[in-house]
Chain A
Amino acid sequence: MCTHNNIQNTDNWKEVEGFAKKALPEHIVAFIEECRQDANPESKLIKVLQLVQEHFGYLGRTQMDAVAQLLQVPMAKVSGVATFYHFFRLVPRGKYLIRVCLGTACYVKGAERVVDKFKEELGIRFGETTKDGLFSLEGTRCLGCCGLAPVVEINEEIFGQVTPDKIPAILEHFTEKESEIKTQ
């Protein structure tokens, strides 16, 4: 059995390392190398995965593999962590991620009807992405703006006091942005 220390002495380590480094952007590779200098490098696993997701939008098998190799933790642990936390996504998502708050305050203020309206407008269910790859729909826990319930977050932008009839306009805001980008 190889322990964490001698894996780098195996015959094909250089090759494995090369592959892994190619799978990840430079700044993440650099961050992992920095972590390896710490006393408890494996404790940075979640942070590394967060960076990967920030860069790719999701955690792909190749990237998780690369993280496992470079951080030198078992792949089982990487996928164990990736599947445990709600934050991590294992499939790609649309350009705009719509997250409807399903926290208590939003729930009692009618978040369910907001969800229904999004589903109706986009023709997708939770966890799905529209065919044009533009929108994905998800539920989320309290976003910390309960006073403005119901709340919807689209990428980093937060919309408060969202009622079903405001939804078409919100979506339009993004589709317009898209067509502007296209015409440019």
Chain B
Amino acid sequence: MNNVNANYELLLQKAEEYRNSLGYGEKIRIRVGSATCEHAAGSQIVYEEFQKHILSSGRQDIILEKTGCTGRCSCEPIVGVFIPNKLPVKYQLVKRETVHKIFMDHIVGGKVVPENLLDKTPDSCKYHILMCDGTGCGGALDSGLRFQFEMKIAELGLKPEEVWLTHIGCLGFCTIMDKKEQTVQVMVRPDNIIYKIKTIKDIEDIIDSHFKKGKVVQRLVAKEKPISQRFYNLYGDVAFFNKQTRIALRNAGVVNPESIYDYLHYKGFLALKEVLQKNDPEWVVKQITESKLRGRGGGGFPTGQKWASARKTQEKIRYIICNADEGDPGAFMDRSMLESDPFSIVEGMIIGGFAIGAQKGYFYIRAEYPLAVERISHAIEECRKHNLLGQNILGSDFSFDLEIRLGAGAFVCGEETALIHSIEGERGQPRVRPPYPTESGLWGKPTVINNVETFANVPPIIVYGPDWFAQVGTRNSGGTKVFALAGKIQRTGLVEVPMGTTLRDIVYGIGGGPAGGRKAKAIQTGGPAGGCIPEKYFDTPVDFDTLGKLGSIMGSGGMIVLDEDDCMVDVAKFYMEFCQDESCGKCTPCREGTKRILETLTRITEGKGTEEDLAKLERLAKLVKKSSLCGLGKAAPNPILSTLNYFRDEYEAHVRDKKCPAHKCRSLIHYVIDPEKCVGCTMCAKNCPVPCITGERKEVHVIDTARCIKCGRCFEVCRFKAVKKL
């Protein structure tokens, strides 16, 4: 018998003592987002400004702290104000000037500042009810009950200021409770209580006792604690968040990423404790296998199977590596997880290390992510101090340590064999597989490489069980996937949804669709290795297999929404430029093929392409795909092949009519002034850098198309929409 349990209890005790000594639970808390993106938006200044205000007010009852990034990028900096027994309030786009107002009005005066509320959330209600609309729980069968709740609230004359009801995606109950119970789940904020209701009487009791008298109806309180409860308690009122299911990102924006005690408080290292207590690596591998967790780095290889095959080798020295190279030029979920919840990635790696019998693990992080490196180093240090890394972890027989290695800006180093070369100090070039790294990897020893998000999912699988995780996803793929939603969309940011969610739900339901009521034309998934999926397939449920069938891939989870202004040929060219630049040059099809493909695409966008070029392009792309050595070359043609397949008309317009339908390709557009609309304000002529616009004041202006360099200035400055792009 080991004393892992006792040691873990001691740690927990320490964490609680620490939190109590600071006055958690009684004091007001102000949490300022702190991550690369938050800093870019100016959150550090906001933090300092709050610091000054607290200092000069002399108040002792306020805790100012940092939290990670919740992934709601375009609203940053985000600040949360948590006053005990009040609804958590989140502010968006907080500037130095806003700080003063928030401090004076809200913290001192108790009045919320409405202008800056995150996504215009209901602010002043006393109770906020989140009603689970998930179809998983048995209660969903009886949808009548849901209406009853709303009707009763109206009937009893409760005003929106008192009780506010929001329907949300899924609280995550369906998978941890007995379906036979057939109840509907509702969460009540700010009390962070979940009720299971079955009858109208239940509803009446809640309204009477809880909402009117402030007394919780104990007989209806759920005993289970779903994983997303904390997240929903904080963010359940925000449309962008309450359709998401947060597992990998469960702590992003919830915990303080620089505090091991905060992490411990939120069930941190509970999974590690259970694993070490059981002391059975086979059991861990079995849990992971049964959870149907598939690698989130792009390949989608079953993680349990990978771990099992490393265990099978005779060699006793083994390594585990976390791939945090995140090279996809449109993905940032790994960065966010490393920065917002570093301890859970570390925990996932320690568990992985235990399962495969490794003594040492490496973090391979891009040098472009300095804050991620800082947070992970800090997390590793803290773990060493608390005996969660090093000799005899938590008093068990297991000893394990972690080290960070930095990437140096080469996309191909994300490929596992190249990554291994890079850690060994070599040029990061891939090699032929097999042998796979699980047989012969780092310094020839069996090595398991997993993505950041893959590791982030490991602790919850252990704590909540593999069945729960498997049920969240689709038949072949358990759990959720985090996507980095960007491009022509209203709400950009990180989206975590169950496998099998449709593209439409992601783009429109969560992302709010393109701005200004424009139409999305396509979505690019999987980065340079992926493809473009046209709007007509937006109802496809997303998982590894379905995206593959559409000629794209899941990849690491980049999702770029494209609209009518984006030229698909240009997008394909953009990715080809990337791949050509990043090709390591080891094998000919990729080294030469990407160059030739890029030349052809450039010709087409310049209006010099022929129809024959299209056929050539397709042949060459297929050849490169078939014969390249590593994943980079094998996937590089995907953007071309998918756009050729779905948007051939755009290619044809470029070569046949010498027109770019999206008016994007510079060589194929020209600017003219509409004499009907021009009022002769001279703005365009003043701004033209050539200058090639003539015309007297108050008279129609004319562009000399022969001399125009197509910079587009005139188009931007004309306030009368008289300049036309043709």
Contacts and interface: CB of A to CB of B under 8 A. Distances in A.
B425 A105 contact: no
Contact of B330 (A50, A77, A146): A146
A81 B428 CA distance: 8
12 contacts: A42-B424, A50-B406, A50-B408, A84-B427, A103-B329, A104-B560, A104-B574, A104-B575, A146-B332, A147-B332, A156-B370, A158-B40
Interface in B338-365: none
Given A102-B329, A105-B492, 12 more contacts: A81-B426, A84-B410, A103-B329, A104-B560, A108-B566, A141-B329, A144-B37, A144-B326, A145-B332, A146-B484, A148-B73, A160-B40
Nearest to B412: A84
B335 interface: yes
Nearest to B410: A85
Given A103-B330, A144-B332, A158 B39 contact: yes
Nearest to A159: B40
Contact of A85 (B428, B578, B711): B428
A19 B425 CA distance: 24
B408 A46 contact: yes
Given A104-B524, A107-B574, A146-B332, A151 B425 contact: no
A72 interface: no
Contacts of A108: 487-488, 560, 562, 566, 571
A85 B409 CA distance: 6
B368 A141 contact: yes
A108 B329 CA distance: 12
Contacts of B41: 148, 160
A50 B329 CA distance: 22
A86 interface: yes
Interface residues of A, number: 42
Interface string A132-159: 0000000011111111110100001011
Given A85-B410, A146-B484, A104 B329 contact: yes
B422 A46 contact: yes
A81 B409 contact: no
Contacts of B425: 40, 42-46, 73, 81
B443 interface: yes
A88 interface: yes
A43 B574 contact: no
List of 8 A-B pairs having minimum Cβ-Cβ separation, nearest first: A147-B73, A104-B330, A85-B408, A103-B329, A158-B40, A86-B409, A105-B486, A87-B409
A161 to B, nearest CB: 8
B270 interface: no
Given A85-B408, A142-B328, A158 B487 contact: no
Interface string B88-130: 0000000000000000000000000000000000000000000
B411 interface: yes
Contacts of A145: 36-37, 40, 73, 332
Interface of B: 36-37, 39-41, 71-74, 76, 326-332, 335-336, 367-370, 405-411, 422-428, 443, 484, 486-488, 492-493, 524, 527, 558, 560, 562, 566, 571, 574-575, 578, 584, 711-712
B74 to A, nearest CB: 5
Nearest to A140: B368
Contacts of A140: 368
A147 B74 contact: yes
A43 B411 contact: no
A119 B309 CA distance: 53
A141 B74 contact: no
Nearest to A116: B711
A109 interface: yes
A8 B405 CA distance: 28
A81 B425 CA distance: 8
Contacts of A40: 424-425, 443
A81 B422 CA distance: 9
A86 B407 CA distance: 10
